[in-house]
Amino acid sequence: MAGFERGATKELSCDGVSLLRIAREVGTPAYVYSRALIEENFRRFDDAFASVPHLVCYAMKANGSLAIVKALAALGAGVDVVSGGELRAAMECGIPAERIVFSGVGKTDKEILLGAELQILAFNAESERELAKIDEIAGSLGRTARVALRVNPDIDSGSHPYIATGLKHNKFGIDLGTARRLFAQADRFAHVRFTGIQAHIGSQIFEPAPLAQTARELAALARELAAAGTPLETLDLGGGVGVGETEEKSLSPEAYAAAVLPEVSGTSLRLLIEPGRSIVARAGALLTRVLYLKESLGRHFVVTDAAMNDLLRPALYSASHPIEPVVPRGEPFTADIVGPVCESGDFFVRDGVIDRPDEGDLLAIRNVGAYGFAMSSNYNFRPRTVEVLVENGAFRVTRRRESYEDMVRLERE
Ligand code: LLP
């Protein structure tokens, strides 16, 4: 198994590369990724869907590191992008336009223009107005844009409310009735070719049932449209496959495929899936050093050099990420692990039973390869961290740590 492991010495390492050494050479905090595990995760999705025509479109919002997107491009991945920036980055990483789908409720004219010029695989359109915009912009280029309608099936994904997207009160997608009407009025949009339907009902989904139900509803709509003379080419199931604290507590690509494939059988459409987190989450760890141990009225605090600006998920979604000493000391105690930012929301764990560290010890915050660095910021004028990719038994810096000069470069006094 690729990824983070403890060898005979009990020291946590990444694909045989010492995390102590990485931290010594690049400093902390530092995001470290296992290329082998990212590739393995991608291949598991690709293999799980091998029985049908398909394309795995990695949702690059989860981790847009160019080195990672390039590695996936080399394996034949497509991508799901949500901005002009991601679209440009994907192209720069060698993802061909015919493997790119473009999602999002608020695409700007400029973004639509770029996608139409590049002739991407599909715009996943989320409203009637957006559809009209795509039609107009593609028309101005003398092109026809390929469009999938993102439908909102009103299905409960069981996710945290901030990342549930498939309920009717969410801003995402088009209700089924409106979608049917728009497909029936395809002639109104002369520069649009309806090629598919898409849904993404949420993120961190651990139960296969809502994902299977979504697939069933999309397939039913596709069959209905084919019977009505609007055959589609693609059926896009979105992403959302849940990643738990351990591999066993996660929804596996194989279990996901086993749940959705029977629902779409017989449609002969090309299946698109947009996993983000499940490709990269477990392949990333955030290394941080203990700055201080502090005790106050019987409570223990471990103050680290990483903070909520480096990893926002615990503060924003109450997400729990296992935190482990790189070299264990074997003496558990109960403590809060917190960062230096001036907010009480700046914690990684509260009342956690952890191995009692010493000042200067190295900790690894696990499963943060997705939406970790991607959501980091310069809050408190803190530079964004270095990113390191472990590959072939060695490591390289794929994004250097920001300097003070980087942070002020765009300012004008
Ligand atoms: N496709 C669409 C249209 C999406 O909106 C998303 C994620 C995905 C695919 C990928 O979902 P995944 O497989 O990664 O669950 N920042 C949050 C997650 C936001 C997800 C937004 N959309 C977090 O840290 O949990």
Amino acid at 229: G
**Beta carbon of 203 within 6 Å of any ligand 1 atom:** yes
Q: What's the confidence (pLDDT) of residue 162?
A: 81
Q: How far apart are CA 348 and CA 308, in angstroms?
A: 8
Beta bridge partners of 164: 202
Mean pLDDT over residues 392-400, rounded? Answer: 98
- Average pLDDT, rounded, for the chain: 96
Which atom number of ligand 1 is nearest to the Cα of residue 375?
16
pLDDT-based confidence at residue 160 (cuts at 50, 70, 90): confident
Q: What is the pLDDT of residues 15-73, one digit of tens each?
A: 999 999 999 999 999 999 999 999 999 999 999 999 999 999 999 999 999 999 999 99
Q: What is the pLDDT of residues 235-288, one digit of tens each?
A: 999 999 999 999 999 999 999 999 999 999 889 899 999 999 999 999 999 999
Largest CA distance in the chain: 72
Q: Which of 14, 57, 93, 342 is catalytic?
A: 342
Q: Whose CA is nearest to atom 16 of ligand 1?
A: 371
pLDDT-based confidence at residue 158 (cuts at 50, 70, 90): confident
How far away, in angstroms, is 73 Cα from ligand 1 center? 20
Locus of tokens 């651990």: 206
Q: Hey, CA dihedral for 170, 171, 176, 178, is it positive or negative?
A: positive
Q: How far apart are CA 84 and CA 81, in angstroms?
A: 8
Q: What is the pLDDT of residues 277-316, one digit of tens each?
A: 999 999 999 999 999 999 999 999 999 999 999 999 999 9
Strands 362-366 and 78-81: unpaired
**Beta carbon of 198 within 6 Å of any ligand 1 atom:** no
Q: How many residues does the chain have?
A: 413
- 93 in active site: no
Q: What is the pLDDT of residues 372-381, one digit of tens each?
A: 999 999 999 9
Q: Whose CA is nearest to atom 19 of ligand 1?
A: 163
Residue 75, phi then psi, degrees to nearest 5:
-90, 0
Q: What is the pLDDT of residues 203-213, one digit of tens each?
A: 999 999 999 99
Q: Whose CA is nearest to atom 22 of ligand 1?
A: 203
How far away, in angstroms, is 56 Cα from ligand 1 center? 15
**Beta carbon of 103 within 6 Å of any ligand 1 atom:** yes
**Beta carbon of 348 within 6 Å of any ligand 1 atom:** no
How far away, in angstroms, is 130 Cα from ligand 1 center? 21
Q: How far apart are CA 160 and CA 163, in angstroms?
A: 6
**Beta carbon of 78 within 6 Å of any ligand 1 atom:** no
Which atom number of ligand 1 is nearest to the Cα of residue 242?
15
